[in-house]
Amino acid sequence: MHIPDGFLDAKTAGVTAGLSAAGVALALRRVKRDLPPRKIPLLGLAAAFLFAAQMVNFPVAGGTSGHLVGGVLAAALLGPSAAVVVVTTVLIVQCFLFADGGVLALGANIFNMAILNSFGGYAVYRLVCRCLPGERGRLTAMAFAGWCAAVLASIACAGELAWSGTIAWSAGFPAMATVHMLIGIGEGVISALVLLAVRQTRPDLISENGSSAGPARKGEWLGYGLLLVLGIAIFIAPFACPWPDGLDAVAAKFDFEHKAVTVLPAAPAAGYQIPGIHWAVGATAMAGAIGTLVVFGLALLLGKILVRKKTLDA
Amino acid sequence: MNFNLLTHQHRHAGSVIHHLPAGLKLGVALIVIVGNVCVPLTWQAWFLGVVIFLILVAGLSRISPAFLLKRILALSPLVLGVALVNAFQTTGQGHWLGVAERSLLCLLTVTLVSNTTPFSGILRVLKSVRVPSLLITTIALMHRYLFVVAEEAGRMHRARASRTFSRTRRFQWHTLSSVVSQLFIRASERAERVYDAMCARGWK
């Protein structure tokens, strides 16, 4: 999901850089205040760990393979702000040392993978944890959050590319979303399994980190939440919504792109004022909702199986 | 990102380019990259200039062309893939060639800089442009232990490969997750030792 240089235009690169600078500054301030000095080397080591973990490939259906992003896993293990710092570090090193991900696209990559993936996923994780208490709920939450975060980041990525005019939303969105819906399953399963394994072998590590980094505070929720909403409003909403307001250029492009879609249901849509668009958006939203529900069900099942297996083992 | 990128680092050679100050190299690279991204595609003179300049730098730095080519090829599947997807779009004919051109040139620029500049030099530049110290410490520590942790992952992989005869689908997930969780636990334990060592050396 690393966007290389040349794929984003100046405006997108600027906006994403601003958003991620704000997010990283917030995370650094939080970490500096909350993390005891003992834990500072852990950030660097966790970043090295994440880098190594990202090189572990897992099989995805159809012979392809994906790799972990690990933002949500880091957030669950270290706390959300520490995770933002850790993933940002990984991205910076990948960019400058290995030329993986562009220099000007660094802002966008940090926004997608460090902020949206880590904090967005963490928000889902906490929410599900609150609704489903206990070990089973925690594993379900982890698996579901891993999937949601991967899909969310990929959609944001498609939005940024579309905003730059590199890849049309009508081509980029389905491609990115479907691929990451598959990869996200792997991400979710591995995240849940890793969380379970760490909790079994060294539960003190998580509880210690959890209490020192703290569950997200009010300011943290507010700050990252604002960034998240801003990002979605800027990168995703203009393409996903049928409303005609917004930037002129975007509207024009939107109209243009959806002409291709309208060709398919030619006759039945003729009577509507904006045919195709409502249909396409409605169908996409429907499919997304159903997919999400199915994945949540799978996550529940996984949590159940893992916990039952654990009690059988014990 | 595959393991080969990590193990196939270019050896430090003492060429003219290697001895230039890191700040200068990073600054020029930034200008080139910003230019590549922002300059309209009709200014072919700029792109031609950049190509000549980069070839000149590559020649002066005495990095073997085969190494550079391998690096670029390892990193460009995404660029080429997206360019291909774009080629089938009705909206921008010919546009994808420009995207590929821009990103390949940027890729070459960063590859050249990162292989002629020690990482500590890059860190020093980051520090001088006022990147927060906590982030710099984290980046420095990560870079220091990156190869250690990756090697540890490699050892675990070898140990597992020599002990398992067959791996079924389900078992594969199990081993993957146990490798990752073990890596995390070992990294955390190492972090504690690193902290003690840092304190013993007077770190504050």
pLDDT tens track for B71-102: 887 776 666 666 666 666 655 555 677 777 88
A215 contacts A126 by C-beta, under 8 angstroms: yes
Percent of chain A residues past pLDDT 70, beyond the cut: 79
State the Rg of chain B over Cα: 21
Region A223-246: what's the mean pLDDT?
A: 71
Contacts of B97 (CB under 8 A, 6+ apart): B83
Which residue from A2, A100, A201 is facing B185, i.e. has the nearest CB?
Answer: A201
Q: Give the dihedral of Cα atoms A157, A163, A164, A170; nearest 10 deg.
A: 80
User: Which residue(s) pair with A58 in the sheet?
Assistant: A66
Please state whether the predicted TM-score (pTM) of the whole model is above 0.90: no
Cβ within 8 Å of A, B 26-65: 29-30, 33-34, 36-38
Measured between beta carbons, the chain B residues lying within 8 angstroms of A37 are 195
ipTM greater than cut 0.85 = yes
Q: How many angstroms separate the CA atoms of A295 and A292, rounded? A: 5
pLDDT tens digits for A150-164? 999 999 988 998 888
Q: Which residues of B touch A102 (CB under 8 A)?
A: 33, 103, 106, 110
Joined together, the tokens standing for residue A270 give: 């003729």
- The string over B164-188, giving b where at least 16 C-beta atoms fall within 10 Å of a residue's C-beta and e elsewhere, is eeeeeeeeebeebbbbbbbbbbbbb
Answer yes or no: are the C-beta atoms of A69 and A83 closer than 8 Å: no
DSSP secondary structure letter of residue A38:
G
Is A197 in Cβ contact with B36 (below 8 Å)?
A: no
Q: Which residues of B touch A99 (CB under 8 A)?
A: 71, 75, 107, 110-111, 114
